[in-house]
Structure 1
Amino acid sequence: MTMSPTPPIPVGVRLPLPSDNLPPAELVKMCRAALDMGYSSFWVGDHVVMPETSMSAYPHTSSGTPGFNAHTPWVDPLLQLTWLAAQLPEARFGTSIVIMTLRKPTLLAKQLATISWLTERPFSFGVGTGWLRDEYDAVGMPFEKRGTQARKDIAEIKQLITEGARTYIVRGEHDEPVEKRFIMKPTAPSPIEFLWGGFSPMAMRLIATSCDGWLPAKQSLEALEGHILRLKEACDEANRDFNDLRLVAKPGSGPDPESGPIDRDNLLGYAELGFHEAILEMPYEPAGIGDAISVLERVAARSWL
């Protein structure tokens, strides 16, 4: 069978983490090679600080242990994508995901509006609340009720990046609380879509009421089918048209995840479920650019080339 030169649905790339084996210049070369093969977009993950030991269980593996540790290098996702966008004007970018409730929403809004103004292209802002209590404690943000806080933060950020103004309660002349209107310019000239990363009942409600789409991690096609039914129910309860949501799948850890490799059959399965894009998770730290490009070639060859 002759395969199509393009995948059944677009396939993005979750980028490797920084390392001596893949320095910045080599990372850009890898991204250009990926674009030449037909990959559609580039995504980066997020952690601010990591504890050397933790009692928190990682939710995306059966063992509860992540595929990284305290010494795994993470760069700031928004800084990295702004830098890449300057060198890859034809590429799309997104986060998968930013732990938004580790940060103040006003500052996040300023960063997102700046990215939009500098890059002049749409941006996919994959967000979630994370799983690591220790990280919240370290940066001084509350871990409890973070889902409720995320809903408020999304509303605040959207208002700032679109309207450029918001009313805040501040201290008055005699330290009494007063309402004052603040301005934030520039606003975001290009669309910024909010994609929620979870699949709990709270996540489904949050997607239906506050987000533009869904970016679930490491779920099999069978599991996704059930989650989509629950998401549709949440949309019905919120009087939201499910078809307005953009769905992005992240099949699993690495090019051959336990939840199914990215290949033509799986991509067709995601398309049948209504997904608009899939993300290949690259190995966290490949041996070098040759190793990274080999992964990209292998997945593309069995999926569309």
Structure 2
Amino acid sequence: MRIGVNLPHYGTLTGPDDVLEVSRAVEAMGYDSLWTGDRLLSPLEPSDRYPGGDGTMPAEMGVYLDPLTTLTFAAAATTRLRLGTSTLNATWHPPVLLARTLTTLDVLSRGRLDVGLGLGWLQDEYTATGVAWDRRGERLDEIIDVLEKIWGEEVVAHDGARYRVPASRILPKPVQRPRPPILLAGLTPAALTRVARRGDGWLAVGMPLPYLGSLWDKLKAETQRYGRDPGTLRMVLRLNPRITTEPADPSQVPARGTLEQIAAYAKDSGADEVFVDLTLTVRSREQMLDLAGRFLDLMRAG
């Protein structure tokens, strides 16, 4: 199992030294990957309830750095760590511009990018970006079509329902060939079908283990029905707990619990990669690095 950690790019820790020092420190500890999420605004009267807890978006999400800029900054301070998004809301971006930014990050990091894409959950963010909320899944599929053409074809041309690219050469290509891995998020039947049909992996989130396992089994079976090898599909699991000093009720794990409880959950998840987001707990860089070091030790322990 690969083990990652979320970059300090939202909440209390959003300064340049936070990003640089945490990136260098967790690489030295032996972590495998760094991750960012994507949040655009914190509406005063939200259009939708937050999909977790009591439905209120955590206050820490009121401060949020751009995920790809932050990963590029971290890439310059590291040499080995994979760099991923879980998730990047691709539908807010024109696909040609998105392809250029992602390609730039892959080139500058020497081929360390994992492209994690999703749709988000907050209609207010679509309003703010001028993007239609309706048919957003279809929009994401077309964006992926354009990304794959740009990354894989010498002459790129696209004439779709929402985007048109005149026949062009678009360079450079990513370092990773045939393209960076595309990981897709979602829990709905349509989202899981998209993963099965065209994703290199599934971006999962913490949930009761029996439910997680059942979704993963269904996803692998559907992948096979599309004529793909389910053994090549990765599950990357994001955990963003509130770390407690005393054991939480097992029903609350992994939303909250001790480091030991969270690590035990991660080990039992069946994921190929787990990354922990400590933002809801930490209030200093020192605290984050202490918890990150202890979590890694627990994950490595037999």
Q: Superposition pairs for residues 185-264 of structure 1, below 5 Å? A: 185-190=171-176, 191-255=179-243, 258-260=252-254, 261-263=261-263
Give yes or no for contact 1:160–1:166 (8 Å, CA) kept in 2: yes
1:183 counterpart residue number: 169
Q: Does 1:162 align with 2:135?
A: no
Give yes or no for contact 2:60–2:279 (8 Å, CA) kept in 1: no
2:68 counterpart residue number: 78
Unaligned runs of 5+ in 2: 255-260
Q: CA deviation at 1:293?
A: 1.3
Deviations 1:172-208 (A, max 9, x none): xxxxxx9841221111122411111112101111001
Q: Find the aligned partners of 2:144 and 2:104 in 1 and give their Cα distance.
A: 17
Q: Which has the bigger relative contact order, CA under 8 A and spacing at least 6? A: 1
Identity of aligned residues (%): 26
Q: Find the aligned partners of 1:124 and 1:15 in 2 and give their Cα distance.
A: 14
Q: Which of 2, 7, 10 lines up with 1:10 in the alignment? A: 2
Q: Find the aligned partners of 2:186 and 2:13 in 1 and give their Cα distance.
A: 32
Partner of 1:262, secondary structure, is helix
1:67 counterpart residue number: 58
Count of residues in Structure 1 that have an aligned counterpart in Structure 2: 284
Give yes or no for contact 1:22–1:286 (8 Å, CA) kept in 2: no
Q: CA deviation at 1:298?
A: 2.9
Partner of 1:93, secondary structure, is strand
Partner of 1:214, secondary structure, is strand
Q: Find the aligned partners of 2:157 and 2:148 in 1 and give their Cα distance.
A: 14
Q: CA deviation at 1:57?
A: 1.4
Deviations 1:60-110 (A, max 9, x none): x1422222367x211111111111101112221101110111111111111
Report the TM-score, using the length of structure 1 for normalisation.
0.85
Query: Which of structures 1 and 2 has the bigger CA Rg?
Result: 1
Give yes or no for contact 2:5–2:34 (8 Å, CA) kept in 1: yes
Q: Find the aligned partners of 2:293 and 2:243 in 1 and give their Cα distance.
A: 11
Cα distance change on mapping 1:254 and 1:32 into 2, 3 Å: farther
Unaligned runs of 5+ in 1: 1-8, 171-177
Cα distance change on mapping 1:20 and 1:203 into 2, 3 Å: closer
Give yes or no for contact 2:154–2:169 (8 Å, CA) kept in 1: yes
Q: Find the aligned partners of 2:165 and 2:100 in 1 and give their Cα distance.
A: 21
Q: Does 1:137 align with 2:131?
A: no
Give the letter aligned to residue 40 of structure 2: V
1:58 counterpart residue number: 50
Q: Does 1:117 align with 2:117?
A: no
Deviations 1:142-184 (A, max 9, x none): 11111121111111111102225322459xxxxxxx9841221
Give yes or no for contact 2:242–2:281 (8 Å, CA) kept in 1: no
**Cα RMSD (Å):** 2.4
Report the TM-score, using the length of structure 2 for normalisation.
0.86
Q: Superposition pairs for residues 285-296 of structure 1, below 5 Å? A: 286-296=282-292
